[in-house]
Structure 1
């Protein structure tokens, strides 16, 4: 049995650049990675707040499997800078194409929504905006500042683009806005970048996270990997070492899930016990916090994980 998330026509609208690619089968998921459809009242309430504020969430745009669980608890990862990405990564379900103009009122909308939802911890991510001179850095900073204004007790986690080929001042502007956690995902091992993340550069992304630590040593840094794309265990461990050399505090590892037939195929479904092994190895390498499971995503359980992250730093002194 094959289950598709998007119809062919919908996929073509969202990913026109992928339509000339050959189809890849989308196989049946193993039992350990299936989730129930969201139907709870908490989910509906969160959805209503998001829609009423005119906000975009990566939960919906990236077809996250955890949306039901997270939205039931009023945890939503807000996506800024529009809903259209200038890149075409082989794994991503976010719409690609030519983005529209920035919404100057978006920072205030996000700040007010954060306060209305009563969030203790909020995660802000975005599409890539290679069309903007600063990659959207100033907009990111304004969103952080608006959240600080409307919800001063809320801790802020950001998941940023790589600001590739942008002035160094762009990244510094975001760092100086003072997020509590600065996340940028490496996504996969260097060997697979050309096919999986062709618009990015592995060592640039690694250097970005290192720069955060140089400029703001007390800011937590975080990065994530997908597995099941054809990487080897040795390659994953080498990425862990690279991350530790860059001072990254928090590592997430989750199973890649293929959004449509036109996206990169799943090489294999990694079993839960293998994720447990990765977590043990990562902790031994010195990460303050590790989340590794088939359904782990960058912002999954982000509020609880942030509390553990702070506790782990305090315990190390």
Structure 2
């Protein structure tokens, strides 16, 4: 028998919700998939697509896109939703910015997405490495747009400024969930800190590049948030002048991560997306398989961001 709670999103069947029919897997050409993965590994690069077991990784790989995971595959944090290995990272690879730029060229990408593990062991959280990679891509690939999906740099606003100054078209930092769930979902994160990062990036980026500069953030649904909490979170992100908001379904990567509290129906995603849009975001993308960097090049085109 199903048990229900007042939290938006919570329907539990015998302790765990069943995978609904609208969560499906796309058939892929394995040859194309393996070719993409082999090329990345031959260049010693990592993708968040594989490390975090993104449900869209086969789609992105077979369409010749990927989100590059910088600064290694070991994270200094252990978030409840993420399957990336936690521990002591290795020293930074000084060749990674150039290697990433070369791989972007080899793949023929029009829009590159860069993210990273958290590197709280570094004085700047890895901001200089992000900036160097953005600049390397732009030098090697004139006309290619770059989105950065950054950690919170422990609130270091100078680190934020360093990344913005490198000239990404989109500055993305995910708040991931509502503030009340941070202790279990993002125990080392702070919601207000993330808001400061986003607001500072928007202020600096607008001063440097005008309205062409975009900020972006994303939330996972199905972790136990209430609708009232979502509305409050939308309002806070809008006040931080976030331009683009993504809302997607949390999918448990392995049994070691937090369980899904409920699967949100596509109709509810549409309704929540409309409610979020009313807070003033330029664009809201909402749906079960929406991810922050999924089809980022298409998002950029829809937003009018130049990528050519």
Aligned mates of 2:199, 2:65 — CA distance in 1: 28
1:234 correspondence with 2:228:
yes
Q: Equivalent residues in 2 for 1:166-245 (5 A)?
A: 166=156, 168-217=157-206, 218=210, 219-245=213-239
Cα offset for 1:27? 5.1
1:273 is paired with a residue whose SS is helix
What TM-score, normalized to structure 1? 0.87
Is contact 1:144-1:156 (8 Å) kept?
yes
SS of 1:310's partner is coil
Q: Greater relative contact order (Cα 8 A, min sep 6): structure 1 or 2?
A: 2
- Give ranges in structure 1 of 5+ residues lacking alignment: 1-23, 312-317
SS of 1:63's equivalent in the other structure is: coil
Q: CA deviation at 1:44?
A: 2.6
- Per the TM alignment, residue 70 of structure 1 is displaced from its structure 2 partner at its CA by 0.9
1:53 aligns with 2:47: no
Rounded Cα–Cα distance in structure 1 between residues aligned with 2:283 and 2:160: 24
**3-state SS in 2 of match to 1:34:** coil
Measure the CA separation in 1 of the matches of 2:183 and 2:27. 34
- Corresponding position of 2:282: 288
Is the alpha carbon distance of 1:133 and 1:36 closer, same or farther for their aligned partners in structure 2, counting shifts above 3 Å? same
Secondary structure of 2:195's aligned partner: helix
Q: How does 1:51-130 map to 2 (within 5 A)?
A: 51-130=41-120
Q: Could you tell me whether the CA contact under 8 Å between 1:25 and 1:261 is conserved in 2?
A: no
TM-score (norm 2): 0.90
Root mean square deviation, CA, Å: 1.5
Q: Give, in whole Å, the separation in 1 of the partners of 2:301 and 2:273.
A: 18
1:169 is displaced (CA, Å) by: 1.9
Unpaired runs of 5+ in structure 2?
Answer: 1-13
* C-alpha distance in 2 between matches for 1:260 and 1:79: 20
CA deviation string 1:130-160 (max 9, x = no partner): 0001100100000001001111111000000
1:138-157 paired onto structure 2 within 5 Å: 138-157=128-147
- 1:21 alignment counterpart: none
Name the CA distance, whole Å, in 2 between partners of 1:102 and 1:25: 42
Contact 2:149 2:173 in 1 (8 A): yes
Contact 1:26 1:258 (C-alpha < 8 Å) held by counterparts: no
What secondary structure sits across from 1:75 in the alignment? coil
The number of residues matched between the two structures is 287
- In the alignment, the residues of structure 2 paired with residue 104 and residue 70 of structure 1 have an alpha-carbon distance, to the nearest angstrom, of 27
